[in-house]
Amino acid sequence: MRTKLRFLPLTLWLAVTQTMAGQIVLNEDDFEHVHFRRIQPTLINFNQDTIHFDVNNSSSFLLLAFDTIKAVRTVSFEWKAHGKLNKGSIAQEKTREGDDAWLRIGLILSGEPEQVPELLLPHWVKQVRNTLEFPSDKMIYLIPDAWHAPGEIWSSPFSSNIDMISVPSRPVNNDWQQAFYVFPEAQQIVGLWIMADGDNTDSMFSSQLRNLVID
């Protein structure tokens, strides 16, 4: 079932972000590049406060652990992409075969995870748990330019503990777009999971991220 959340007016959202800016420093040394086994990793480079993703039927992600739990209600970022993402409908986007995106900003939520014997955990799950300062049981992906309408929410086809939210964008300059989202209430965040992926749709494209702000 799809759900639609109500947005704050853009003028109010801008006023909030201007008075409570929480810029994320995109410093390569602060992130951990996590790979999945048997999946080609996305090529990721940092350059002048911008992250560049080169996707070639690939998937991997950047993990940023916070040293405190942050109450986050608003998220904004600038992004752009070139190439082809082989995804053509809402129905496909909800399946494993269509679960790729130009860019995903993942908010890792505070909470106690389900107890699973460590021997049964994939290596990347162990890596995430060892990197985070606080436990987590859920995540929210903010996805620009999704097939779902802005504000719509759907569950990840890979995990019921991950919600996907389509977020609106507006043009800025030189092909850059600004995406933004306001939650009805603050989310308790322990880290960020940032990725661009094309392994499920056999896609090849490049995307970039800059000016990521959470408040």
Q: Map out the domains of the chain as residue ranges.
A: 3-214
Residue type, 56: N
Whole-number Å distance between alpha carbons of 175 and 79: 9
pLDDT over 90 percentage in the chain? 85
Answer with the residue of higher pLDDT: 12 or 42: 42
Residue whose tokens read 């494993």: 96
pLDDT tens for 8-35 read: 444 444 444 433 459 999 999 999 999 9
Kindly give, in sequence order, each residue whose CB lies less than 8 Å from that of residue 7, ignoring residues fewer than 6 positions away: 13, 150, 151, 168, 181, 182
Q: How is 15-35 classified by DSSP, letter by letter?
A: HHHHHS--BPP--GGG-EEEE
Q: Tell me the pLDDT of the chain averaged across its residues.
A: 91
- For residues 72 and 107, the answer to whether their CB atoms sit within 8 Å is yes
Whole-number Å distance between alpha carbons of 104 and 126: 21
Average pLDDT over residues 45-68: 97
Residue 116, pLDDT score: 79
Whole-number Å distance between alpha carbons of 78 and 180: 9
Position 198 pLDDT exceeds 60: yes
| Fold assignment, 3-214 | Jelly Rolls (2.60.120)
- For residues 192 and 107, the answer to whether their CB atoms sit within 8 Å is yes
Residue 137 phi/psi, 5-degree rounding, is: -125, -5
Q: How is 55-97 classified by DSSP, letter by letter?
A: EES--EEEEEEEEEEEEEEEEEEEEEEEEE-----HHHHTSGG
Residue 21, pLDDT score: 54
Whole-number Å distance between alpha carbons of 67 and 122: 24
CA of residue 88 relative to chain centroid, distance: 20
Angle at 55 between CA 100 and CA 73, to 5 degrees: 55
Q: How is 144-156 classified by DSSP, letter by letter?
A: ET-SSPTTEEEE-
pLDDT tens for 118-149 read: 778 889 999 999 999 999 999 999 999 999 99
Kindly give, in sequence order, each residue whose CB lies less than 8 Å from that of residue 14, ignoring residues fewer than 6 positions away: none
Whole-number Å distance between alpha carbons of 36 and 41: 7
Average pLDDT over residues 190-205: 98
